[in-house]
Amino acid sequence: MIGKLTGQVDSVTADSAIIDVGGVGYVVHASGKTLGRLGPRGSAVSLLIDTHVREDAISLFGFAETVERDWFRALLNVQGVGAKVALSILSVLAPDELARAVAAQDKAAVARANGVGPKLAQRVVSEMKDKAGGINLGAALGSAAVDVPVANGADGPLNDAVSALVNLGYRRTEAYGAVARVMQSQGPQTPLNDLIVKGLKELSQ
């Protein structure tokens, strides 16, 4: 099994690249974000590889970072998500953005990916939350961890504040991030009105 490739960029297409390793060209499928980080032809490159072996094909999937590979593997555990769809999701949402979308249960953000409809997007955010064992504030925001419940439609100040900001026209993931940051600095018992007002200030910065 191939776990890593280090060589030179031979060519890049919309969904894959050919990596020249000692004169052998490997076709590596990757997200748009990873492909966008590759340099021009001849540039040195090193990619982590997830090798998929089937009866009729051996496919290589490349990642610039371990965290992207981990999210790719986790997405494959969601019913209805194959490698192509997983890469499509990672093409529109970087790992930290996907973490925030799952934490906020923002299916609209996931549905921006090609090949992902509303029902599949809902399944992704729901099942990823469970498969990840829940996402805390630190994981969702890339900052110091403070336990905050993942938004799941249940009653509570976090969800009410997020809903209020969404009603004001903000995207759910943005609203969740702002409210979560307020909870991080003010504590999980912050009153609803303070969450909304200070959340608005976060969003205006």
pLDDT in tens, 118-156: 999 999 988 887 665 443 434 444 443 344 444 444 447
Q: Which of 125, 199, 133 is nearest to 165 (CA)?
A: 199
Ranges of the chain whose pLDDT falls below 50: 133-155
Domain residue extents for the chain:
4-64, 66-135, 143-205
Supply the pLDDT for residue 131.
62
Supply the pLDDT for residue 132.
54
Supply the pLDDT for residue 196.
82
CATH class of domain segment(s) 143-205: mainly alpha
What CATH topology corresponds to 4-64? OB fold (Dihydrolipoamide Acetyltransferase, E2P) (2.40.50)
pTM over 0.85: no
Q: Which of 138, 130, 153 is nearest to 184 (CA)?
A: 138
Distance CA 67, CA 141 (A): 14
- Beta carbons of 47 and 30 less than 8 angstroms apart: yes
Handedness of CA 174, 175, 178, 179 (dihedral sign): negative
Question: Which residue intervals of 55-156 are DSSP H helices?
Answer: 66-75, 83-92, 95-104, 107-110, 118-131, 137-141
Specify the CATH number for 66-135; select among 3.40.50.460, 3.40.50.1950, 1.10.150.20, 3.40.50.920: 1.10.150.20
Supply the pLDDT for residue 138.
43
Mean pLDDT, the chain, whole residue set: 83
Supply the pLDDT for residue 197.
83
Structure tokens at 5: 């490739």
